Amino acid sequence: MPLLTLDAVSLAFGMQPLLDQASMTIEAGERVCLLGRNGEGKSTLLKIVSGEVTADGGVVRLDDGAILSVLPQNLPVNDTRTAYEAVSGAFPETGELLAEFHRLSQTADEASLDRLMKVQERLEALDGWRLDQKVGAILEQYGIDPEQCLNTLSGGWQRRVLLARALVTEPDILLLDEPTNHLDVPAIAWLEEALGQFRGAILFVSHDRAFIRRMATRIVELDRGHLVSFAATYDRYLDLKEKALEEEDRQNALFDKRLKQEEAWIRQGIKARRTRNMGRVRALKAMREERQQRRERGGTASFSVEDAARSGKLVVEASDAGFAYPDGTAVIRDMNMTVLRGDKIGLVGENGTGKTTLVRLMLGDLKPTDGRIRLGTNLQIAYFDQLRGELDLERNALDNLSEGREFIEINGQSKHVLGYLQEFLFSPERARSPVRVFSGGERARLLLAKLFSKPANILVLDEPTNDLDVETLELLESRLVEFAGTVIVISHDREFLDNVATDTVFLDGSGKVAEFVGGYTDWRRQGGRFPSEGVSRKATKPPKNQNPVPEKKPEAPTVADTKKTKPVKLSYKLKLELEKLPGQIEELETELEKLRAEISDPEFYSGPAESVSSTLAELGDKEAHLEKVIERWMELEEQANQ
């Protein structure tokens, strides 16, 4: 029996239904990615499954006794709860009692002791101490300080706390809505590993293509109110989807041709009317109704970038540049870099390593405290804010963009504001809606529309891929590649960086800035690694203060230190291990290819549930094993090349 069933679910807001008799099932152990354009209703569908929103019709059925948990899309704002309180809150009554017990145990007055005894008695009746152990265990597993307040944590650590809360109940199915948003690459890798170890079913919404490829065992697309399942990997889904759209266009063309013929027949003269077949007339009426009910696929975004006059050939030149806060905390040090017109720079680094500070230095918003930074001539900058701060949520899209104008100039052509917004897939009705009702993807598209309506020869994009659907994302990539000016991108989307960046600039958190040719994959190929990858896989606890800590002045190395830093040659045993690892990697990749081919078979999920679950579990285990083998190979290769 399926773990989750949606049967003929319908929901409408306004004229067009978001869900129109939508149906699907999810089996135990599946990892299903829900795809669809921005505004199609993916987040709403997850809310229907979780019970947050009630459908207009149809059935949503969870298997008897099954537990469902949700990892929300939005991070908490100004949440003063501790991590312990947030995670224990997954158990409503017990969690509140446990949090109260922890607070009361810090005081010593008689009134508190009296209440403490009552709380303790109730906890014992609810088996609260067992749940307390579960909360403590998962916090320790994820390296989370239980006393850390959520409002002092970075987005990545907040996401980690929320995942701990979702998993502490040991759910059978987990719902995830854009789980990689605002996470840096190491945090995404950690999330992938944590979810890979989860043995329950997962239904998730994501537009991070690398994450989808890593996680999804099946793709379900929400398209014009209907759910269409593709028992395939993400790349195979893209091929199948393209063929399906071609077939849909062919069938629609045949239908429209036949309808046109029937309309011509019904309008013939008196002679034809005498021989009219009433059955044919009724069939024509049915065809008209069918054509009227057809929901056309929305158009494709077709925006372009407004080019300003060319900047000088030199955009930025940094010589031994550095920046430190007044307290001496160094964020950037000894930076030497030259950016020329037309360069596409991708900034990579963990959250808090100073990427935004580096951009502000490069644009002249901050003055270096050391060295020199020289800016080029005729620089016109357009900035994309990941927090969407430039949008007024109470005004509609039209007012946000127009700023009092009726027409805007794009590359010498005058365009009406409504027509320009339609290029970004905003209908006239949607363009007049307040921004506060927009989905995250629609807000991102509106900000891109506003950004590209202004002439610029330098584009600075801070996390532009968050919430964008794949079609818009791919168009954005092509426009940035075609853009004649300079592009500076802060992004944790690995595939986006590969497709756009000509150079990757890496910040390691110590203030050092290193430049590499190519995108993210090229940086990894050249030995690029994040600092957190050099330590134990077990999560380290977040700092109490998110601001960088001033480094201590280096002390003179001792003899023992000198011996420790001397390159260590591989032993004979390690050399043998290194020689065998490529073969192991190739063997694992072959096994994974066979498993993925088996899972992509349309008949796979119709087999016994135990067989499906065991195969999916085997896939997850082998993927995790392959990752460890590759890491070991990289580690030994690095030692061998010293």
CA-based R_g, the chain, Å: 29
User: E strands, 52-168, where?
Assistant: 57-62, 68-71
Q: Are 596 and 552 in contact (CB under 8 A)?
A: no
The burial of 23, by beta-carbon neighbours within 10 Å (0-12 exposed, 13-18 middle, 19 or more buried), is given as: middle
The burial of 542, by beta-carbon neighbours within 10 Å (0-12 exposed, 13-18 middle, 19 or more buried), is given as: buried
37 labelled as ligand-binding? yes
Structure tokens at 543: 């700092």
Q: Which amino acid is at 495?
A: E
What residues have CB less than 8 Å from 478, skipping those under 6 apart? none
29 labelled as ligand-binding? no
- What is the C-alpha to C-alpha distance for residues 441 and 467, in angstroms, rounded to an integer? 4
65 labelled as ligand-binding? no
**Element containing residue 139 per DSSP (H, E):** helix 128-141
Pairing label, strands 173-177, 68-71: parallel
C-alpha closest to that of 165 among 154, 151, 180, 176:
176
User: E strands, 186-270, where?
Assistant: 201-205, 218-223, 226-230
- Give the orientation angle of helix 440-452 with respect to helix 470-482, to 10 degrees: 20
336 labelled as ligand-binding? no
485 labelled as ligand-binding? no
H runs (alpha helix) in 294-380: 355-363
580 labelled as ligand-binding? no
- What is the C-alpha to C-alpha distance for residues 400 and 449, in angstroms, rounded to an integer? 10
- What is the C-alpha to C-alpha distance for residues 162 and 639, in angstroms, rounded to an integer? 38
For 640, other C-beta atoms within 10 Å of its C-beta total 12
- What is the C-alpha to C-alpha distance for residues 78 and 158, in angstroms, rounded to an integer? 11
User: E strands, 63-168, where?
Assistant: 68-71
Phi then psi dihedrals of residue 416, to 5 deg: -70, 145
Question: CB pairs under 8 A, 24+ apart, for 297-302?
Answer: 297/223, 297/224, 297/245, 297/248, 298/37, 298/425, 299/422, 299/425, 300/425, 300/471, 300/475, 301/423, 301/424, 301/425, 301/445, 301/471, 301/472, 301/475, 302/423, 302/475
178 labelled as ligand-binding? no
How far are the Cα atoms of 214, 227, 290, 386, 624 from residue 174, in angstroms, in the given order?
17, 19, 38, 27, 20
What residues have CB less than 8 Å from 301, skipping those under 6 apart? 423, 424, 425, 445, 471, 472, 475
For 261, other C-beta atoms within 10 Å of its C-beta total 9
57 labelled as ligand-binding? no
Q: Rounded to the nearest 10 degrees, how much is the dihedral formed by the CA atoms of 202, 208, 213, 217?
A: 20
271 labelled as ligand-binding? no
555 labelled as ligand-binding? no
SS3 491: coil
Q: Rounded to the nearest 10 degrees, how much is the dihedral formed by the CA atoms of 607, 611, 615, 618?
A: 180
Q: Are 466 and 496 in contact (CB under 8 A)?
A: no
41 labelled as ligand-binding? yes
36 labelled as ligand-binding? yes
- What is the C-alpha to C-alpha distance for residues 12 and 424, in angstroms, rounded to an integer? 23
355 labelled as ligand-binding? yes
277 labelled as ligand-binding? no
Binding residues: 36-43, 349-356
Binding residues for ATP: 36-43, 349-356
